[in-house]
Structure 1
Amino acid sequence: MSQRSYHVQENCELLPFLFTVFRNSSRTTVKSYLTHRQVEVNGRVETRFDTPLSGGDRVNVFPGRRSNLLRHPMLRVVHEDDALVVIDKRSGLLSMGTERERTRTAYHILSEHVKRVNPANRIFIVHRLDRDTSGLMMFAKSESVKRILQAEWDERVRRRTYIAVVEGEPTRREGIVSTYLTENRGYKVFVTNRCEGERAVTHYRVLQTGAGRSMLELELETGKKNQIRAHMEYIGHSIVGDRKYGAKSDPAGRVALHANRLAFVHPVSGKEMDFTSPAPAAFGALLI
């Protein structure tokens, strides 16, 4: 871990001081040092850009260290840079607000997070996970990045997989569910004919079975709303706890669906990004 130390000569604020000593770095990069808790003043981590400095203060910067500022019981930041944020959210947290709930959402939590660095910062929805689905999802930090990701989603997203525990045991260990989906007035997605719906393809593989249930790995070839939930009901193996889509039991008190892998090409750097999140321990207990 590299460390750079600087002595303050006269009274000033922290961010302007960092701009001065890192004059060859971009302003965005310098701000990220504060966002990721990489700056210490007199041995204490500081994240506010307007932290006052006095002559004689010592400022340490750790350019190689990436610690997440955000601490929240309902989500964990697994990656953050100037363009986007990847999080691992818990079941029970909405992706974005509704008429009834505005603040208990991933969007609100991350908005507050980025505004601590600069009140003008914003967060943009790229895709969503249902309230009861846990796991990996991504947000953009600018409207331009959001547009790139949404317009080029199928090309940029290399792998998007889920782990689910379903009722019963599929006859085949591996398979492909390919149908057309549409949504009714009750906001339930269901299989329909080609003329009325949009094509949806889900690949599944049985990982483990037990107690009359099966743990599946599911990979999306298309990303339609509630695709996995509708497809599992269609093949007669509803996801445990998903009563809206035909489940008969709810032993875990949640829908047993977890977004465990998200691999994509970064919209700015072009770098291959690949993140994984293990399925909740409760999923394994459902097979015993």
Structure 2
Amino acid sequence: MENGFIKLISKEENIRLDLFLKKTNPSLSREFIKKLIKENCVYVNGSIKKPSYKVKVNDLVEINLKEPEPLNLKPEKLNIEIVYEDNDIIVVNKPQGMLTHPVGNKKEGTLVNALLYYSKNLSRIGGVLRPGIIHRLDKDTSGLLLVAKNDFSHKILSNDLKERKIKRIYYAVVKGIVKEDKGVIEIPLTKSFKSKKFVKPSFSGREAVTEFKVLKRYKEYTLLEVSLRTGRTHQIRVHLSYIGYPIVGDKIYGISCPELQGQLLHAKKIVFTHPRTKEKMSFDIPLPSYFEDFLQRVDER
């Protein structure tokens, strides 16, 4: 990056400009990318192009990252657990029921609101609605999230995420007895035509790869360890449902459970290289109490 510009030489052929920017800069939100293109801050071979422009191999794509707008989000004192913190990063345990960042009209009660209260230093690359956010968890998925406190860390970690150098391991309880001890699910995913909030399997969609391993089988359920090779929206939830093992408590893709507030999906472990010290960092947290309680109940049946 030079003087606020990101310069990219395309290795892609016939991909929309907005999709190319998201693919090469996963930490930038779609809203922020749309805004950059609309305000003529993206150039292809020196010319302004529309979001629908099809990027070609060897196209020079330049992004003018202007000074970020002032944050107008409300810092809130919310209950979040800081697992680790230094001058560059924060590792936080997001509770179930909390949005990672503001969406639509929901601009309060999110993890970002909590982080703004907790820390004065968060990176600004992700746009005004996602300061510090490297990756996200669904509202009803709990567990570990990595947050950048400055742009230096954000750029490196975002690139590591794109190159699949950050390992994220989840625990999930699914309905049914999974027969295989381990497996790989390779099914492309795309946004649903009915609602952009939902995702569905589609062979014309984006690559999505999920690995799973059986940890314990119960009478009617299976506890899985799940890891991501890619990080598509709702990937684990859709993949497990598609192969016939929906996540318990998932009201959209799985099976609802009156005793649960959301799905039994927990981001339990994360492994990455520290952006500044290059030290290997690994964090592993316990399952939430409601998760443990469910496992104990089904184990006693």
Give the structure-1-normalised TM-score: 0.68
Match of 1:275 among 283, 287, 294: 283
SS at match of 2:245: coil
User: How many residue pairs get matched?
Assistant: 213
Instruction: Select between 266-275 and 153-162 the one with higher mean Cα deviation.
Output: 153-162
Pick one of 220, 223, 240 that aligns with 2:228. 220
Contact 1:157 1:262 in 2 (8 A): no
Q: CA deviation at 1:168?
A: 0.8
| Other-structure match for 2:198 | 188
Per the alignment, residue 272 of structure 2 pairs with: 264
Using the alignment, how far apart are the partners of 1:121 and 1:155 within structure 2? Answer: 20
User: Is the CA contact (8 Å cut-off) linking 2:210 and 2:239 kept in structure 1?
Assistant: yes
- Contact kept in structure 2, 1:200 and 1:221, CA below 8 Å: yes
Give runs of aligned pairs for residues 14-53 of structure 1, distance below 5 A. Answer: none
Aligned equivalents of 1:113, 1:251: Cα separation in 2: 32
Match of 2:159 in 1: 151
Is the CA contact (8 Å cut-off) linking 2:185 and 2:209 kept in structure 1? yes
Flag the 1:270–1:155 CA change in 2: closer, same or farther, 3 A.
Answer: farther
Q: Secondary structure at the match of 2:240?
A: helix
- Segment drifting more, 274-283 vs 72-81: 72-81
For structure 1, the residue ranges without an aligned partner over 5 or more in a row are: 1-70
Q: Secondary structure at the match of 1:233?
A: helix
Aligned residue number for residue 229 of structure 1: 237
Contact 2:89 2:146 in 1 (8 A): yes
The residue type equivalent to 2:97 in the other structure is G
Which residue of 90, 94, 112 corresponds with 2:117? 112
Whichever structure has more strand as a proportion of its residues is 1
**In 2 relative to 1, CA 280–239 (structure 1 residues): closer, same or farther, beyond 3 Å?**
same
1:202–1:228: 8 Å Cα contact kept in structure 2? yes
Check conservation: 2:247, 2:265, Cα contact below 8 A.
yes
Query: How far does residue 99 in structure 1 lie from its aligned partner after superposition?
Result: 2.7
1:91 aligned to 2:105? no
Which runs of 5 or more residues in structure 2 are unaligned?
1-75, 125-130
Mark the CA change 1:137 to 1:129 in structure 2 (over 3 Å): closer, same or farther. same
Q: Is the 1:240–1:256 contact (alpha carbons within 8 Å) kept by the matching residues of 2?
A: yes
Aligned alpha-carbon RMSD (Å): 2.2
User: 1:74 touches 1:89 (CA, 8 Å); kept in 2?
Assistant: no
Cα pair distance change 1:77/1:102, threshold 3 Å: same
Using the size of structure 2 for normalisation, the TM-score is 0.66
Conservation of the 8 A alpha-carbon contact between 1:204 and 1:217:
yes
Aligned ranges for residues 40-189 of structure 1 at < 5 Å?
A: 74-115=79-120, 123-155=131-163, 157-185=165-193, 186=195, 187-189=197-199
From the superposition, tell whether residues 156 and 223 of structure 1 become closer, same or farther in structure 2 (CA, over 3 Å): closer
Indicate the residue corresponding to 2:64 in structure 1: none
- Deviation (angstroms), 1:248: 4.7
Deviation at 1:216, TM superposition (A): 0.6
